[in-house]
Structure formats: structure tokens, C-alpha cells
Chain A
């Protein structure tokens, strides 16, 4: 019997794991000997000889029922070891990953945490992707929190299993557990050096009591073997051979293929359609009318008409031939260019108070110098390289889905709601995600696949084309930011006013909401860590006309762009160095509590005790990044350095960007330097990759990215009207340093993004004397910066 047979882990048989998790059996470690058919496990001891290990017959032990798990409610959720770990007789350690693998290497980092405490051998570890189910606790793979949420409980789970294996060995050897120790996938008898393998002990261990949390001893930091180590990736060796299953790669017997024609405007609908020509396209099997969407947007599909065919190309060709008359709906008047002016006007009027210290308006009025600046940032699309894709199979009673989703649980709930069936009849298994960046938190595309599958009675693979992805997304919100600063005669900042205006994400869930949530305000506006004596943060109202959704680092993008650009503007007005002035704004090392000044601050769901806003750490990354970039060095004409620093998702990042701008505005990025303090780190290589990726994501959006709308419909459709940074445009040099820290783990997937855009704009100012306050800086069509008349240098 294997631990997974205890009935807690459902055997996962799906296209996701088939072929990917074949048991790894090292035959050199196994032998069958003796005429009695006795199974023994041989082990090569340091030196040479094969040492036979008798097979343990777990059924020979008369044990009481182990009782319920005492670990269902540890910090972070259920730490019952059998929920996370199954050990096969051959020693294979199967670790269940309940988060979605989307390039952040969560398969590897989750395994590192468990395997370290378990004392498993790395080469024996395999990963099983969990389906969406409440038993795992939170599976919503966004908010840069897979490690933060699970670090403690997965350590507990690993350690509990290790102690059970030790207890099993002690029972077998009739020794006290203190005389046994676990290391490297084996338990040894410290008195005589005999050892038993985990595979041999697993069945007996699985029948023992699970230790309570207070009986569990976690390893000390210096005993860690895998945590804070560059363990190799589970996905990369397969990816380089074209293996692995993304959402778009799922194959089911008898599967058909679909694409959907959707209304150009949100809450538009089909007035009429004629599919006669579409049906004549070779390979087209039929069409399915999808239900119209009604406000609020939620995760529901947008409606329209699906074309089903025997391959994806035929479906796309069929859709081209489909004749649909659209009714435009309530958002048909949306013009993002005109709307930008409204947002900017709102940002200039006083708004709702979100945090106050002292008397900012009074201090601004009496300041020796007053600096005012307005910033504007456009809608953005997440555009993962794999567009949204899902496969659904309807049996007449149950629904099974495989899809690139960030949250299989909310997907399951949304499917139950949309199909009007019980959640228990629905299975959702995440595939590998070909990027996500927040787009795949919204499972509208899975519901489309399920609705079509129910209609056609065959497995259906739904593919969004790139045009679908660019035109029908959940967009990063457009925003206007108004900032005012007051300076004393010596240049010290005495007053800070920040007003932020953007259609909130809450509008997607309740279309009457027009004010930013506390969560959005707490992403770089109401949590500003500056030691200015008079500070005021306000928000304005704005109505959404597109579906608004999360995009990597969310509201931090426009807040950090405005706040960190404006900090550099104040430095310039004071005649001071950007970096020195930023450190002065931040002030001395201390813990900042925005709630003491009236902010409703959620701190990314964590307590300020566990994760304070620590200006010492923010100062630390600034000093480190500046040193890495050799801040203050003499640069040739046309070159400049810019710096920005930001705390988000409980981590601290400072970024220095170097630019070279030619007289005609052509831009190069010779170097980027990033210092990150993310607390305890599981895999430094992952952190560096996320800093590079997150930074370039921010630079790409800042330089080129803009989703605009005319008559309620998105104007852009594919690359390059929606433009991404390419290799030749990427920074030439990129250095990342991780600040060593014993603090609890913060996020790393998103925090690299916010400082990128302001560091870039600050560098362009340093290089050219031009202050750019509107994103994107270049846009989809140009190949250089458009520089306005020079501001005073």
C-alpha cells in the first residue's frame, strides 16, 4: 500500500501528468534475492558492498487506528502530510503542487520546501499537479504569494512525514525514536548504522499517528539543503524538447476545436447571425450561440457565436465567414482618448481622503516652492504568449476541464454557476500555463469551452486567437495621477499631495463601483513610506467601460510611476541628486503604519506585525542598487541613470536604469541593476529570473504598451499594434542582487515591475532634461522617443 492509497489524495489521471510523471526506478538500487521470493532493497554504501535491506511487512504490525490529522489547521492551512506527499515503494517521492505553474517555477519551489524538511533525495522527487479543490486551501496563483502562503505549512507537512518515517523505523527496530535519524531518503539506526529506505518504510509510516504541530521539529536554517539553493527546474528539461502540456496542448479522444466570435463591446450582443457561409467552410462542423453577457462582468463569457470544427484553422476560417450583426450595448460610446481628459480633470479636483498626516494643503500654500505634475497611464493587456485556452469534456452528467487557469477553484465555482450544475460534478485541472500575468485569473474562457462542449456532446478545445486576447481582455486600468509637493527654502519636502483616479477592478464585480478599493490604494498610494511632515492621499471616481482586471503588480504600476517620477522631480526642483533626495523623502529607518493616519490598509492580506513597512529595508535596496550601478559616475552626453524603489507584495525592490538617448530620440538601455529584499528566498535563481522578467515587463509596457478604445471597442488586435519588447530592444546588461534576509518570505513575481517605468523615465530625464509623464513613451508605431520642449535643466 502506498501513502497515496490512504484515500486522501485522489489518483490524478489526466493529460497533464500522463507521460510527465512516470515513476523513476533506479534498478541498481533494487534486487530480488533468495528462493523464498523475499524482496530486499539493496543500497550501495560509501565504499562498495550491496547491503540487503529486508522488506518491511506493515501488515504484521497490530496498530490502533491513527485517528484524524492534527495538522489540518496550521498557519497557512492543512499540513496533513498525506495531502502533499506520497512515497512509492521504489522510493519515488510524489509531491503535489496545488499552485499553477506559469513560469515562476512554483513546481520546483514547492518541492524544495517539502523535500528539504522531508530529507528526500532530490532525484527521487516527482511533481503531481493538483486539481482545483478546497482541500488544498487557497490555490489562487496570483498576488505573488505561493511561497508566502505555503512556506510554513509545507515545511510542517514535510517534517511531519519525516518524523513518521523515523517513528516507523523505530517501531521496526524496537528502538526509541531518538536513536533513529532521517537523512537523504533513509532512516538510520544511530547505534549500529543500519538503514531503511523511505520507500520501504512508507506503508508502515502511513499507518502511524500524525504528530501534532508542537511535536514537530523543523530544521534550522543552517540545516537547509534545498531551501535558498539553486535547485534545478522540473519543467525546463522537458520544455527544451517540446514536451509538457499547456492549456492549448490538451488532447482528448474525439475532440473538436472551437473559436468564438464575440461582441466588439462589453455587454454588446448578437442582434442576428447567419452561419450558412461558415458551415460551408471545409472542416466546419457547426455553430453554437452563446448566452449574452449581463452586467456585472464577473468571470462570465462575453457571449457571441462559437464555430466548431475538426481543427483550429477550420474554426478560424469558419469564423471569418460567419455573418453577425452586433447590438452595441451600453459601452458603445467609450473613447479612451476623450476619457483620458475626463480622468485628468477629475485628478485636478479634490477627491476622497484616503490618508492624511499634518496639513498638506496648508503646507503647500506656505511652501517656498510648489511643484505640480500630472501623469497618465493607459490600459494594458497581460498578453501571455499562450492566449487563453481550455479543453472541456461533458459526459452528460459531469464536466471535466483542463485549462491554463491561475485559480482552478474559482474556475470550478464559476463553471457551476454558469452551467447550473453541482460543483462536485466538475473537475478542473490546471495545465502548465504559457504565461498568465493575471489574465488567467479570470476563467471566462473555460466557461466558453464548457458551454460549447455541453452543446456539441464531444470534448472541445477552445482557443483564443491573439486578436481575441488583445481585444476581449480584462485590462489593466487606465489612470490619471496628480501630485503636488511643497519645498522649504533649503529644498526639504514639507508637503506631499497625491490624488489617484482610475476605474477600479471592483467594477468588474459590481458595475456601480467607481471608487478605488483600499487594496488598490494600498498598492503604492496610501502606503507611501515618505517621512514628509504633511501628507495627503486622495482618490477620485471613475467609471469602467472595459472589463478591468489584475495585471502583474496591478495598481502599483501607475502609483509607482507617478510617486517615483515625482520624487525625482522634487529632487530636481531642490537641486539635489535623485537617489539622495529619495532617501531623504523616505527618512530614517523606522516602521511605517498607514493605518495610524487614517488609511484602511490591508498590507496584501498580511499583518503589519509579520510584514511591517520597514524603511530600513527600502533604504537598503536603494543603497545596494546604487552601488551596483556605480551611481554618480560620469556619463557621456546623452546617457543618464534613473532610480526608483518600491515596496510591493511585501518585498522591496530598487531599480537603476541606464539609458542612451540620441539627439533624434532613439533609445537604448545599456544596463539595468536591481536589488531585491524578498525576505527568505527559496530559490535565488527563480528570484533573479522574476526580477529580470518583471522589470522588462514593466519596461516593455512603459515604452510600447497601450490598449485604446474607439466606440467601445479595443483598437489594437495583434502584434505589433499591441507591441512587446524584443531581444534587440532589451537591456544589454542586467544585474540582480538579493539582499540576504531571515525575514518571512515576500513575493517575487510582481515586485520587479513597479519600479521599472519610473526608473526609466528618471533616466531619460537625466540623459535629456525631458520629463515624460505620459505612458507609453514610444508606442506601437514609432522607433524613438518624442521629446517635448526641454524642461529647465
Chain B
């Protein structure tokens, strides 16, 4: 059954089986591959998107539960916090392989939006749901703090 999703401000009609997680609708139906698959179990954060501004794991969120919701992905996230995060990510060369970084950026952007001056404990709390096997954690912490100084 076709339903309409609002993604990055645009309405998109999708026709996926009921219950199909948003992740696979984004990736396989809409060709928006910036949001990544890491575990399928909300354990790694690679698929993190914003739904009405809230951090959401797309791999366990049925797309048909999002009727009328505003979905934001890495391709569309913007605003002062997201811009500052992207800038600090580039300046610090945060990503290594980069695969988890869409999710890391979505989490970090939401953190700075809600808490422009996070301390280490706040960074731990906000970012510990996002795994990085390259272990860019040190760079992520540095870059969040650097981004915070620009807000």
C-alpha cells in the first residue's frame, strides 16, 4: 500500500510492505543511501535519523508508523548545530572509513541543538549509542567541543 512520507521537507510516495523499517525504504526504495545499515537491532546507531527532531533508529522504525512525521536524514539535516558539526568534522578529519559517520553526525547535531555547550558526560550520554569500529571516538569528542565553541 502506497503511503506518503515527508523526508527532508519533500513528500515522497513509497510502496513498501507494511512494517518495512524506514531504513530500507530510504535505501532501497528511495535510493537515499546516506543512512546506513549496521545491526538492524538499534544497537549501533549507523541508521540514525531525526523524526520530528527526535533521534530515531531507522532500522527498527516501521515506515508506516511515520505518516505525517517530518523525517530528516543525513542528506537533509541543516541548521546552525548541524553546520557547525559538519565543519568541525571536516576540520578535524573525524571520519576514517566514514560508514558510521552519518549516524554520528545526526546524533552530534541533535546534541548541540539541544545543549550548545555539552560537557564530557553529556557527550558520553549522547554519543554512546553510536558505535565506531575505526574508533574515531577521540576525534568525535574533540570535534563536538570545537563545534560548540562556534555556537
Contact = CB atoms under 8 A, between A and B. Distances in A.
Nearest to A435: B97
Interface of B: 16-18, 20-21, 23-25, 27-29, 31-41, 43-44, 46, 73-75, 86, 89-90, 93-102, 105, 120, 123-125, 127-141
B133 A236 contact: no
B122 to A, nearest CB: 11
Nearest to B131: A724
B62 to A, nearest CB: 10
6 contacts: A236-B89, A241-B74, A314-B17, A696-B138, A728-B125, A730-B137
Interface string A291-318: 0000000000000000000111110110
Given A257-B28, A311-B29, A727-B124, A435 B134 contact: yes
Contacts, number: 186
Given A241-B86, A730-B138, A732-B120, A685 B36 contact: no
A235 interface: yes
Given A282-B17, A313-B20, A466 B98 contact: no
A257 B37 CA distance: 14
Contacts of A245: 33
Which of A463, A466, A729 has its CB near the most chain B CB atoms (within 10 A)?
A: A466
Contacts of B105: 240
Contact of B138 (A232, A246, A384, A692): A692
Contacts of A312: 24, 27-28, 37
A725 interface: yes
A20 interface: no
A731 interface: yes
Contacts of B96: 103-105, 435, 689, 693
A731 B138 contact: yes
B75 A725 contact: no
A577 interface: no
A467 B98 CA distance: 21
Interface of A: 102-105, 232-233, 235-237, 239-246, 248-249, 251, 257, 281-283, 310-314, 316-317, 383-387, 432-437, 463, 465-466, 685, 689, 692-693, 695-697, 700, 718-720, 724-732, 734
Contacts of B36: 246, 248, 385-386, 434
A316 B28 CA distance: 13
Contact of A385 (B35, B46, B74, B89): B46
Contacts of B43: 718-720
A727 B128 contact: yes
Q: How would you classify the secondary structure of chain A's contact residues: helix, strand, loop or mixed?
A: loop
B20 A240 contact: no
Contacts of A241: 34, 74-75, 86
A207 to B, nearest CB: 40
Given A241-B75, A282-B17, A466-B41, A103 B135 contact: no
Which of A236, A310, A311, A734 has its CB near the most chain B CB atoms (within 10 A)?
A: A236
A239 B101 contact: yes
Contact of A727 (B73, B94, B130): B130
Contact of A248 (B33, B139, B140): B33
Contacts of A317: 17
Nearest 3 A/B pairs, CB to CB:
A242-B34, A434-B99, A103-B97
B74 A311 contact: no
Nearest to A317: B17
A242 B35 contact: yes
B138 to A, nearest CB: 5
B128 A726 contact: yes
A248 B46 CA distance: 13
Contacts of A235: 95, 98
Given A384-B99, A387-B38, A689-B96, 16 more contacts: A105-B93, A232-B90, A236-B90, A236-B94, A239-B101, A242-B73, A251-B31, A283-B17, A311-B25, A313-B17, A384-B97, A434-B97, A435-B134, A466-B44, A720-B43, A729-B128
Contact of B135 (A236, A281, A730): A730
A432 B29 CA distance: 22
A102 B97 CA distance: 5
A236 B93 contact: yes
Contacts of A105: 93, 96
A387 B59 CA distance: 15
B99 A385 contact: yes
A386 B99 contact: yes
A732 B33 CA distance: 33
A638 B6 CA distance: 53
Contacts of B97: 102-103, 384-386, 432-436
B98 A434 contact: yes
Given A385-B133, A465-B40, A720-B43, A243 B34 contact: yes
A240 B86 contact: yes
Contacts of B94: 236
B125 to A, nearest CB: 8
A689 B20 CA distance: 37
Nearest to B96: A103
B20 to A, nearest CB: 5
A384 B27 contact: no
Contacts of A239: 95, 98, 101-102
Nearest to B23: A313
Given A435-B133, A727-B124, A244 B138 contact: no
A437 B38 CA distance: 16
A718 B46 CA distance: 14
A697 B133 contact: yes
A697 B138 CA distance: 13
A432 B27 CA distance: 17
Nearest to B124: A728
B135 A725 contact: yes
Which of A102, A283, A385 has its CB near the most chain B CB atoms (within 10 A)?
A: A385
B90 A242 contact: no
B134 A248 contact: no
Given A435-B97, A727-B141, A251 B33 contact: yes
Contact of B127 (A102, A104, A727): A727
Nearest to B20: A313
B33 A700 contact: no
A313 B24 contact: yes
B102 A242 contact: yes
A734 B28 contact: no
A67 B142 CA distance: 54
A466 B40 contact: yes
